[in-house]
Amino acid sequence: MSEEKNRILKISILRFDPNDPEDFPHMQTFEIEEAHGMTLFIALNEIREHHDNSLKFDFVCRAGICGSCSMLVNGTPTLACKTLTSKLGVNISLAPLPLFKLIGDLSVYTGQWMRYLNQHLETWIHNREKELNVDKLEERMEPELADEIYELERCIECGCCVAGCGTIQMRQEFIGAVGLNKVARYHLDPRDKRSDEEYYNLIGNEDGVFGCMSLLGCEDVCPKSLPLQVKIAYLRRMMIKTSMK
Amino acid sequence: MKQIKIDKIPARLDFIQSASGLILALFMWAHMFFVSTILLGKDVMYSVTKFFEGEYFFGESYPIIVTIAAGAIFIIFIVHALVALRKFPSNYKKYAIMKNHIKSLNHTDTTLWFWQVFTGFAMFFLGSVHLYIIMTNPSEIGPYASADRVVTEWMWPLYILLLLAVEIHGSVGIYRLALKWGWFEGSDTKKSRNNLRKLKYAITIFFLTLGFLTLAAYIKIGIEHKDKAGERYHQVTKTVQQGAQQ
């Protein structure tokens, strides 16, 4: 019986602790034996367990739902838990997502950026009712529309689209595909009573939809395959229409 | 309901950039077909030249028409460049960040954007020179006049660079416009985008091939006509027919 040897993976990780004044960013390479069905998340756990227990990275769900384990894999933003090592070469480089606040090594604080974005875009239903009535039944909507809204609601705020966006690299005020996707989601929702002019004031500028340069990095790295390109085009057309009123 | 005031300028700038880009790209494709008529013979190219000088409408040539058309294109060109400038990296630091992002992400459309910016920047200079010459010398277009300009007046190096810049910039621009505004989205957007990208490459290859063949034809005529540079072309058939009648 022939025994096929597993590959030895050389995983280079960008190490840096911003809270340690004596530390500096540097690459550290770990060699581990690849296992069948291994994901990067499993590989990172193995490194932490057997090689270096100080390695920082995030995970919660391990199923591509929470978005915590997003990182740059060979330069491309993606989720570690969804990435099979068998799809990569033996030399793998890992780095934290850029633009977000670095906690350490591969761990970044996406929540700070996302919270600001949600507050800025007011990503909640604006129904104009002065008092909240929890007993009142919600307005009905067509199943097709509900499906369309749900499709956009699948965003897990992992930050991959932000890291894959060239526009944000140059202008960090740009709200990115994650922000535009949220605006499209609320604009579609008939329960949200904001006018087109109000939406224009949110995203009708260079930090919003008119800042987008259609590089489509966001669309191509989105781990949830959200229709970002389509929704940005939709918002652009809507904003132009509003500006012509 | 209370009217909310909105700043319409960002929308207008975005629209102007797209519209001017579309006009210029379509013009360039049409322009390429007109100049490439030299491949069908000197007479065909001469007839096209005379057509644009209005000879078939007014009975005689008015090169001022060419000046007006080139001037209009020049204005659209300047407006497009002005509004597109706001998307350029504003300083070296931003340029370096973007360059690093392009290298590290290794993403086709992001890389194409870099080429679009690079070719756009090159066209500030190359396109301006060409448009100014055409505007100020409108009657200097024709099988011999154009070929002399290419060879004797040493415009061929500029035209090679301009051809590369225009065709890359134009086809990438049209492709990006389609995605930006959601044209040809279809039901399967990923498939449509893939098809659009293939079409973009096909268009680039087609116009670059046609462009280089056309330029080669002008260079050949220019070299052959070098000793008589400055002499203008006259349709042989017309002269022979007139001669026979006399």
What distance in Å separates the CA atoms of residue A218 and residue A226, rounded to the nearest whole number?
9
Say if A3 falls within a structural domain.
no
Say if A43 falls within a structural domain.
yes
Number of domains in chain B: 1
The reply to whether A32 and A98 lie within a common domain is yes
Say if B245 falls within a structural domain.
no
Say if B212 falls within a structural domain.
yes
**Interface membership of A215 toward B (CB under 8 Å):** yes
Regions of chain B where pLDDT drops below 70: 1-2, 236-246
Q: Please give the residue range of the domain that contains residue B80.
A: 13-233
Q: A66, A81, A107: which is the final residue of a domain?
A: A107
Is A204's CB within 8 Å of B6's CB?
yes
Is B113's CB within 8 Å of A227's CB?
no
CATH number for the domain harbouring residue A217: 1.10.1060.10
The reply to whether A136 and A85 lie within a common domain is no
CB A81 within 8 A of CB A59: yes
pLDDT tens digit string along A202-243? 999 999 999 999 999 999 999 999 999 999 999 999 999 999
CA distance B24 to chain A (A): 19
CB atoms near residue A41 (< 10 Å): 21
Q: Which of B78, B109, B90, B61 is nearest to B16 (CA)?
A: B78
Say if B244 falls within a structural domain.
no
What's the pLDDT band for A137 if we cut at 50, 70, 90? confident
Is B182's CB within 8 Å of A233's CB?
yes
Say if B102 falls within a structural domain.
yes
The reply to whether A28 and A53 lie within a common domain is yes
Q: A107, A141, A159: which is the final residue of a domain?
A: A107
What distance in Å separates the CA atoms of residue B59 and residue B57, rounded to the nearest whole number?
6
The reply to whether A135 and A78 lie within a common domain is no
Maximum alpha-carbon separation in chain A: 76
**Interface membership of A216 toward B (CB under 8 Å):** yes
What distance in Å separates the CA atoms of residue A25 and residue A13, rounded to the nearest whole number?
10
Number of domains in chain A: 2
pLDDT the model gives residue B236: 65
Between A and B, how many CB-CB pairs are < 8 A? 101
pLDDT tens digit string along A164-208? 999 999 999 999 999 999 999 999 999 999 999 999 999 999 999
**Interface membership of B228 toward A (CB under 8 Å):** no
The reply to whether A148 and A185 lie within a common domain is yes
**Interface membership of A170 toward B (CB under 8 Å):** yes
The reply to whether A76 and A23 lie within a common domain is yes
Give backbone dihedrals phi and psi of B68, rounded to 5 degrees, phi first.
Answer: -65, -45
What's the pLDDT band for A54 if we cut at 50, 70, 90? very high
Cα radius of gyration (chain B): 22
What distance in Å separates the CA atoms of residue B9 and residue A199, rounded to the nearest whole number?
15
The reply to whether A20 and A85 lie within a common domain is yes
Instruction: Reply yes or no on whether the pLDDT at A98 is more than 70.
Output: yes
**Interface membership of B188 toward A (CB under 8 Å):** no
Say if B3 falls within a structural domain.
no
CB A70 within 8 A of CB A79: yes
pLDDT the model gives residue B243: 52
**Interface membership of B110 toward A (CB under 8 Å):** yes
Contacts of B191 in chain A (CB under 8 A): none
The reply to whether A153 and A212 lie within a common domain is yes
**Interface membership of A172 toward B (CB under 8 Å):** no
Say if B6 falls within a structural domain.
no
* B216, two tokens: 């080669």
Helix (H, G, I), strand (E, B) or coil at A245: coil
Say if B243 falls within a structural domain.
no
CA distance A117 to chain B (A): 21
By C-alpha distance, the chain A residue nearest B95 is A170
User: pTM surpassing 0.95?
Assistant: no
- Residues 15..74 of B with a Cβ closer than 8 Å to A: which? 15
CATH number for the domain harbouring residue A92: 3.10.20.30
* B184, two tokens: 């040809």
Q: Please give the residue range of the domain that contains residue A13.
A: 8-107
pLDDT the model gives residue A235: 97
CATH number for the domain harbouring residue B215: 1.20.1300.10
Say if A190 falls within a structural domain.
yes
What's the pLDDT band for A131 if we cut at 50, 70, 90? confident
| Cross-strand bridge partners of residue A8 | A33
**Interface membership of A217 toward B (CB under 8 Å):** yes
**Interface membership of A125 toward B (CB under 8 Å):** no
Q: A87, A107, A127: which is the final residue of a domain?
A: A107
Identity of the residue in B113, B182, B189 whose CB atom sits nearest the CB atom of A166 = B113
| Cross-strand bridge partners of residue A32 | A9
The reply to whether A129 and A231 lie within a common domain is yes
Is B104's CB within 8 Å of A72's CB?
yes
pLDDT the model gives residue B1: 54
The reply to whether A123 and A216 lie within a common domain is yes
Contacts of A233 in chain B (CB under 8 A): 179-182, 185
Is A195's CB within 8 Å of B13's CB?
no
Say if B238 falls within a structural domain.
no
Task: Give the DSSP per-residue string, B67-131.
Answer: HHHHHHHHHHHHHHHHHHGGGS-SSHHHHHHHHHHHHHH--HHHHHHHHHHHHHHHHHHHHHHHH
Say if A1 falls within a structural domain.
no
Contacts of A170 in chain B (CB under 8 A): 89-90, 94, 97-98
Say if A2 falls within a structural domain.
no
The reply to whether A55 and A149 lie within a common domain is no
- Residues 48..77 of A with a Cβ closer than 8 Å to B: which? 72, 75-76
The reply to whether A17 and A132 lie within a common domain is no
